[in-house]
Amino acid sequence: ADADQERFDRLRYVEVKHGRICMLAVLGQITTKAGVFLPGTIDYSGTKFSDVPTGIAAFSAISSAGWAQIIAFIGFLEVAVMKDSANGAAPGDFPGDFRNGALDFGWDSFSEEE
């Protein structure tokens, strides 16, 4: 119990972010198991998105160049897009607010009465 508020905020930030990643992973699994795939091919050799199996079997179906692109994209999101006050960005409206001023659907501008 010797953690300070800054460490607590950082841990909460990481927990929210990882929770969202897990929710997206489950949604991706459900979507692909239901037979919904992106159109087109995933590589120049003609492998369609629908040819890639779901779950753990997908790891061997994607080439190392494909994995490098996925990891580079995730790294870009981590460094440039998904920032929170615990990551050095301006404080958001709530913990885990990754909008960075880019998305505003107006859902957070209602008063308590509305």
- Assessment of whether the complete model's pTM goes beyond 0.75: no
1-56 residue pLDDT tens: 677 888 887 788 888 888 988 999 999 999 999 999 999 998 888 889 999 988 88
C-alpha dist (Å) from residue 73 to 59, 105, 107: 17, 25, 29
| Cβ–Cβ < 8 Å for 95, 12 | yes
49-75 residue pLDDT tens: 999 988 888 889 888 888 899 999 989
88-102 residue pLDDT tens: 556 666 666 766 666
